[in-house]
Amino acid sequence: MGIYLNPSADGLAEILEGGPYIDKSELIAYTNKVLGTSKKLTCFSRPRRFGKSFAAKMLAAYYSKGADSGKLFADLKIAHTKDAGFEKNLNQYDVIFLDIAWFISNSGDVKSTVDDIQSEVLEELREAFPNCVRENTQSLPKALLQISAKTRRKFFIVIDEWDALFREAKEDAELQKSYIRLLRGLFKGAQASQYIIGAYMTGILPIKKYGTQSALTDFREFTMLEPGILAEFVGFTEEEVLNLCAEYGIDFHETKKWYDGYRFAQTGHVYSPNSIIEAILNKRFSNYWTQTETYESLKVYIDLNFDGLKDTIVDMLGGRKCKIDTGTFQNDMTSLNNKDDVLTLLVHLGYLAYDIGSREVFIPNEEVREEFLRAIKNGARKELVEVIRQSERLLEATLRMDGDAVAEILEAAHEANTAPKFYNDEQALRSVVVMAYLSCVDHYLKFEELASGKGYSDILFLPGRASEKPALLIELKWNKSAEGAVTQIKDKNYTHVIKQFGYEGELLLVGVNYSVKTKKHTCKIEKYCEKG
């Protein structure tokens, strides 16, 4: 049992004793299935605090000859999963466990990290396998090959935070190339099959690309863009969160509002494990993202002056999804050449969710949305700060039923956020109104084009369960009148829409009209009083 070679199961034992635990041990069924095959190399990337290190420690505890972990796994799912090879592979392999972030933190100079990894692991290998590693060997891949040639032993390699060098030394291209050469030496080529039975790498970023090719083409990758068959292991599933809420007396609807949003076709909704556990332990819903990542990192990317980035962020703050091309992203934090590269990076960092079917990105939940607002308010994009302030003023004016102020703010938003050639477009007005009311996301659920009464209501803002604000029912008109819009709401019984949600609170009717001829907006606001 060593530090890097054949570690103990202490890491897993601490996790199991550390409070609320969701059993993700069936990941082992997958790694056992691909063990010793052409698919034996796995890289599974996902954001901070999504359980990456938990998985790495679990796999090390399971495969390591230096661990006696049968009792730790006895009550976990994998021990009772049929045909998963649990007993066959339990503590049967020489495991090398490398935490790259740890090496960086404990290096005198980050530039020595690659050399430190090789020298320290080689020292343990020489001790564990005397007379196997040649005296002049300084290369870790060569040492493993020499050991395997003499002993016929194979290694399972676990690398946690594989991409830490790309994040911590993001400008040091030579160090990154040196690191990639080490990884290629370990995992690429016919010789690697002689000494590797399997490998599992975790990280935030997918494997670095050069042009269109992965630097490590033999790895099978699972990412926040395409988690594939490992989707259920990205985070907590909705069923798992439901069970935790029931067990610990946590309101599931509030949990969903704060932490839901990541979705995959294979498994449905997925939640950030850290945020769920913190909400349970603290018995309070809050933004726990700042415990793992400051808004400063997000602010850097928002402040990049790429065409269309500002408009896309405003759209997403208003609850919209936005099209994205993920193909040009080079899987690092510096080769950002356009808006789509920035948005793709934010998906991998967890700030955005990705819908693979529609190829759209969106802000997943209230917790992350707060990070966007914090980053914007403290960033260099003053035009975004003004959009948020303007939205707050618009909501305040609506709630005090000041139609003139609402019209004035909408007019300014229409002019600022709509290209001239689209200015007299009916859909542009709807878009402007939805975006202008983006502050409503803090207090309301938004619905558009809901069937109600004798037609379809344009926009409904329904207050959240904890909000005391009135519901807002907005009708838009083009070259008519704001008064006529309010009248239509009543005549066509659009107000019936709130009943399908069981809402019985106060309701404001908001009519908005735009005149193509004068380019003026008007607004009429009334409190709804049900007859009877």
Point out the domain boundary residue: 193, 222, 251. Answer: 222
pLDDT digits (tens, 9 = 90+) for 296-316: 677 788 888 788 887 788 788
Most confident of 10-14, 155-159, 324-328, 499-503: 155-159
What CATH number is attached to the domain comprising 474?
Answer: 3.40.1350
Most confident of 164-168, 291-295, 304-308: 164-168
Instruction: Of 75-84, 106-115, 448-457, give the lowest mean pLDDT range.
Output: 448-457
Q: What is the pTM of this model?
A: 0.83
Does residue 132 fall inside a structural domain? yes
| Contact status, residue 523 vs residue 496, Cβ threshold 8 Å | no
User: Do 111 and 244 belong together in one domain?
Assistant: no
401 has pLDDT over 50: yes
pLDDT at 420: 38
Kindly state the average pLDDT of the residues 141-168.
94
Kindly state the average pLDDT of the residues 315-339.
86
| Contact status, residue 201 vs residue 162, Cβ threshold 8 Å | yes
User: Do 257 and 196 belong together in one domain?
Assistant: no
Kindly state the average pLDDT of the residues 231-253.
93
What CATH number is attached to the domain comprising 33?
Answer: 3.40.50
354 compared with 426, residue with greater pLDDT: 354
- Nearest-Å Rg of the Cα atoms of the chain is 28
pLDDT at 424: 44
222 compared with 428, residue with greater pLDDT: 222
User: Do 317 and 232 belong together in one domain?
Assistant: yes
Give the whole-number percent of the chain exceeding pLDDT 70. 94
How does residue 423 score in pLDDT terms, banded at 50, 70 and 90?
A: very low
| Contact status, residue 293 vs residue 328, Cβ threshold 8 Å | no
pLDDT at 370: 80
Point out the domain boundary residue: 191, 222, 253. Answer: 222
pLDDT at 421: 36
pLDDT at 290: 60
pLDDT digits (tens, 9 = 90+) for 371-400: 888 777 777 777 777 777 888 898 899 999
User: Do 376 and 397 belong together in one domain?
Assistant: no
- The full DSSP string for 216-248 is STTSEEE-SS--GGGGGGSSEEHHHHHHHHHHH
Q: What domain count does the chain have?
A: 3
pLDDT digits (tens, 9 = 90+) for 103-123: 999 988 899 999 999 999 999
User: Do 291 and 265 belong together in one domain?
Assistant: yes
Kindly state the average pLDDT of the residues 24-49.
95
Nearest-angstrom CA–CA distance, 105 and 63: 26
How does residue 294 score in pLDDT terms, banded at 50, 70 and 90?
A: low
Does residue 4 fall inside a structural domain? no
User: Do 250 and 235 belong together in one domain?
Assistant: yes
User: Do 398 and 467 belong together in one domain?
Assistant: yes
Q: Where do the H-state alpha helices sit in 318-365? A: 339-349
pLDDT at 426: 56
Whether the CA torsion 98, 101, 102, 107 is positive or negative: it is: positive
1 has pLDDT over 90: no
Does residue 60 fall inside a structural domain? yes
Does residue 340 fall inside a structural domain? yes
71 has pLDDT over 90: yes
414 has pLDDT over 80: no
pLDDT at 2: 81
Kindly state the average pLDDT of the residues 195-223.
87
pLDDT at 428: 62
pLDDT at 179: 93
User: Do 148 and 205 belong together in one domain?
Assistant: yes
Does residue 186 fall inside a structural domain? yes
Instruction: Of 118-127, 163-172, 453-462, give the lowest mean pLDDT range.
Output: 453-462
How does residue 226 score in pLDDT terms, banded at 50, 70 and 90?
A: very high
> Which residues, at least 6 apart from 105, have a Cβ–Cβ distance to it below 8 Å?
none
The mean predicted confidence, pLDDT, of the chain is 87
Domain range for 424 is: 383-527
User: Do 49 and 160 belong together in one domain?
Assistant: yes
User: Do 411 and 368 belong together in one domain?
Assistant: no
Nearest-angstrom CA–CA distance, 190 and 370: 49
Nearest-angstrom CA–CA distance, 352 and 345: 9
Give the up-direction half-sphere exposure of residue 245: CA atoms within 13 A in the CB hemisphere: 20
Neighbouring CB atoms inside 10 A of 34's CB total 15
Does residue 472 fall inside a structural domain? yes
Kindly state the average pLDDT of the residues 412-435.
60
Does residue 2 fall inside a structural domain? no
User: Do 207 and 237 belong together in one domain?
Assistant: no
Does residue 53 fall inside a structural domain? yes
Point out the domain boundary residue: 380, 401, 425. Answer: 380
Which one, of 264, 171, 147, 165, lies nearest residue 215 by Cα?
165
User: Do 148 and 31 belong together in one domain?
Assistant: yes
